[in-house]
Structure 1
Amino acid sequence: MDRRSMILGAAAAGLGLPAARAQATFPTRAVTIVVPFGPGGPTDLVARLVAEKLATRWGQPVIVDNKPGAGGNVGSALVAKAAPDGHTLVLGVTGSHGINVSLFPALPYHPLRDFEPLTLATLFPNAIAVHPGVPAQNLRELLALARSKPGQLSYGSDGNGTASHLGVELIKTDADVFITHIPYRGGASMLGDLAGRQIDAGITGLPAALPLARAGKIRILAVTTAERTPAAPELPTVAEQGFPGYAAAPWAGFFAPKGVPPAVLARLSDDLVWALTQPDVRQRMAEGGSTIVASKPEEFRRFLQAEIARWARAVQASGAKID
């Protein structure tokens, strides 16, 4: 090789040094994972399990910081404005990064324009259930009953504009039936009223609904994931019961602020996938009825685009708006 070729080769190799060095040295200090909800629940759990794994892998503290408010908007907006160096992440969810862009007229961020999707972490099945006194053994029978008694049946959800509320609104629109919506402040009080038959049907997270179903106090008709869940494989999906392609499961995924260097994004994505796929993390999440996904960034981006479109349709169908 002549001298000129050697110089050009060295120069070309040197072009990759800054990116490689950024990946090799990241992180240089503590990393914060913002959870835009309060402590407890499956979203907070996955953040803490992942944080523990990453702290060991990186040799740096990984802090879980709960920043609840406005359906996930408060914590998400903070991360959208954080320094784009990879040291501040958010565990976004269906509401904060899928629904709220259509639900809130003045959302202080955009889930795609202001963030870098890193990995879709988990799916959390919702369960559609009825009181045992309701004469419906499956979703088709419930919809037929509602069609025969327009406006006489009611269902409870986790609240206006949540994935549980809008997931049922999609079904109602496609089935052309009317069931009165009763919003609750979370699933616990809704399940109590369902078990006492203050309402006819309800939808909330499967882990909360399963104990009541197994005690015979409610009957689960369907789960909202695209496929049956390993936590209760006997339960059919909505898609299996006349709604092909239906999938309206809550999810959680990791995001970085827009502008993080590509090498750091690659390191974050690879290490997050590694943490999520550790056997003990998979087991802990499965025990709560959640499914680990651990997707690549481009897969997550495509998923997010589809979710934003799906929930925009649901928001429009329901007429829900939050100022």
Structure 2
Amino acid sequence: MLSRRRFTALSSVLPLAVPAIGTAQTGWPSKPIRWIVNFPPAGAADILSRILAENFGSSLGQPIVVENKPGAGGMLGADIVAKARGDAHIVMMSSAASHGIGPVLYKNVPYDPLADFTHIHSVGTFPSVLAVNAGSPIASVQQLIEMARAKPGEVTYGSGGNGTMNHLVGQLLAISAKAPLTHIPYRGSAPAMNDLMGGQIVALMESLPTAIGYFRSGRMKPLAVSEAERSPALPDVPTFREAGFPDVVTTNWFGFSAPAGIPAEVAGRWETEIGTALQSATVKEGFAKIGVRPGTLGAAAYTDLIRSELARWKEVIRAGDIRAD
């Protein structure tokens, strides 16, 4: 299991090459594989990508080079992969932000989240967590909402960027509670968490894998998680449903995708590699320690999930008149 300190160290040196030690293969892959992480270092997508890349890099016969390409709620990195149609040597960590929310939240998205990709396998699911500074007097979601109602415009919550799942979960809470929560977008999770601990923002909506180390060290205080059930990693933290906000039920998801047009045999090989990696004891242990449930959906089911999430979030955004900042 990699420690959080080691994740941070890995993320500070980019790109990361995961060396291959297996027998050299003919055909694919014939050169190093670019793995695009469309969010900043030390975020959930980055952490999960590096766990997986280290786990199966040796089986492909070529290095895997992890590249962080953040921006536009994950859509910048996704566009890089979408434009590489037919290239079997580039892959990405697709997500709810880049393939479920962004394409229906923003105008003029430069790619089709279904037609421009070969979706291969789900990777993992986990909740968003509403958190406050460890020294904050706020001890519950209800207290935060009462403060927001009493001081309109003064209660801010940060997220790692516009169009991310965490952004939208915060908007769902504001709508459900009929409270004026002011969203502050950041370029990634790290600056958002720094500002929370520094007192520049009142609250933070963050992915559990990114924030769990801060909860365990006592630097941040979790108030609620977004999934329908409590997280095994935070068993004492209620769900939003338990806290009195039954409409705030969401799950963050990540998956593994490649450009459209890659050979079917390559897609099949990737599906096997990812599925095998997710069943390994090393990956299961690593995921569990950061509050992630390993993905179980193969190519067809994962593609169906993306299709259903696009429809779901389109309706939520329309019904709530939610707009990108």
**After TM superposition, is the score higher than 0.5?**
yes
Helix, strand or coil at the partner of 1:240: coil
Task: Note if 1:120 corresponds to 2:122.
Answer: yes
Helix, strand or coil at the partner of 1:286: helix
Task: Note if 1:82 corresponds to 2:84.
Answer: yes
Q: Name the counterpart of 1:45.
A: 47
Gaps of 5+ in 2: 1-24
| Distance verdict in 2 for CA 1:259–1:240, change over 3 Å | farther
| Distance verdict in 2 for CA 1:119–1:67, change over 3 Å | same
The CA deviation at 1:309 is 3.1
Q: Deviations over 1:34-75 (max 9, x none)?
A: 222344433223323323343333334433333334333333
Q: Name the counterpart of 2:284.
A: 282
Write the distance in 2 (CA, Å) between the matches of 1:318 and 1:200.
Answer: 24
Q: Name the counterpart of 2:221.
A: 219
Task: Note if 1:235 corresponds to 2:198.
Answer: no
Q: Deviations over 1:174-232 (max 9, x none)?
A: 23222223333333443344345443322223355445545655431111234322322
Helix, strand or coil at the partner of 1:227: coil
Q: Name the counterpart of 1:99.
A: 101
Write the distance in 1 (CA, Å) between the matches of 2:213 and 2:56.
Answer: 33
Please, what is the CA RMSD of the aligned residues?
3.2
Aligned positions of 1:54-69 closer than 5 A = 54-69=56-71
The CA deviation at 1:113 is 1.7
Q: Name the counterpart of 1:167.
A: 169
Is the CA contact 1:161–1:315 (under 8 Å) kept in the aligned structure 2?
Answer: no
| Distance verdict in 2 for CA 1:156–1:116, change over 3 Å | same
1:306 is aligned with what amino acid? S
Gaps of 5+ in 1: 1-23
| Distance verdict in 2 for CA 1:190–1:54, change over 3 Å | closer
Write the distance in 2 (CA, Å) between the matches of 1:114 and 1:82.
Answer: 9
| Distance verdict in 2 for CA 1:174–1:79, change over 3 Å | same
Q: Deviations over 1:268-290 (max 9, x none)?
A: 21221111221112222333333
The range that moved more, 94-103 or 30-39, is: 30-39
| Distance verdict in 2 for CA 1:227–1:300, change over 3 Å | farther
Write the distance in 2 (CA, Å) between the matches of 1:220 and 1:104.
Answer: 30
Of Structure 1 and Structure 2, the greater helix share is in 1
Write the distance in 2 (CA, Å) between the matches of 1:46 and 1:165.
Answer: 20
| Distance verdict in 2 for CA 1:159–1:35, change over 3 Å | closer
2:196 is aligned with what amino acid? L
Q: Deviations over 1:17-44 (max 9, x none)?
A: xxxxxxx987342343222234443322
Helix, strand or coil at the partner of 2:242: helix
The range that moved more, 306-315 or 290-299, is: 306-315
Q: Name the counterpart of 2:269.
A: 267
Task: Note if 1:320 corresponds to 2:319.
Answer: no
The CA deviation at 1:153 is 2.9
Q: Name the counterpart of 2:10.
A: none
Helix, strand or coil at the partner of 1:241: coil
Larger Rg: 1
Write the distance in 1 (CA, Å) between the matches of 2:201 and 2:233.
Answer: 26
Is the CA contact 1:166–1:318 (under 8 Å) kept in the aligned structure 2?
Answer: no
Write the distance in 2 (CA, Å) between the matches of 1:76 and 1:297.
Answer: 18
Is the CA contact 1:191–1:202 (under 8 Å) kept in the aligned structure 2?
Answer: yes
Is the CA contact 2:172–2:247 (under 8 Å) kept in the aligned structure 1?
Answer: no
| Distance verdict in 2 for CA 1:29–1:222, change over 3 Å | same
Is the CA contact 1:154–1:182 (under 8 Å) kept in the aligned structure 2?
Answer: yes
Is the CA contact 2:224–2:240 (under 8 Å) kept in the aligned structure 1?
Answer: yes
The range that moved more, 294-303 or 306-315, is: 306-315
Q: Deviations over 1:121-150 (max 9, x none)?
A: 123432202356766533244334544554
Q: Name the counterpart of 1:14.
A: none
Aligned length: 299
| Distance verdict in 2 for CA 1:269–1:226, change over 3 Å | farther
Is the CA contact 2:44–2:210 (under 8 Å) kept in the aligned structure 1?
Answer: no
Query: Percent of counterpart pairs with the same letter?
Result: 38
1:298 is aligned with what amino acid? A
TM-score for both structures, normalised by structure 1: 0.77
TM-score for both structures, normalised by structure 2: 0.77
Write the distance in 2 (CA, Å) between the matches of 1:283 and 1:321.
Answer: 36
The CA deviation at 1:262 is 3.7
| Distance verdict in 2 for CA 1:179–1:270, change over 3 Å | same
Write the distance in 2 (CA, Å) between the matches of 1:124 and 1:97.
Answer: 16
Write the distance in 2 (CA, Å) between the matches of 1:192 and 1:54.
Answer: 33
| Distance verdict in 2 for CA 1:193–1:228, change over 3 Å | same
The CA deviation at 1:169 is 0.4
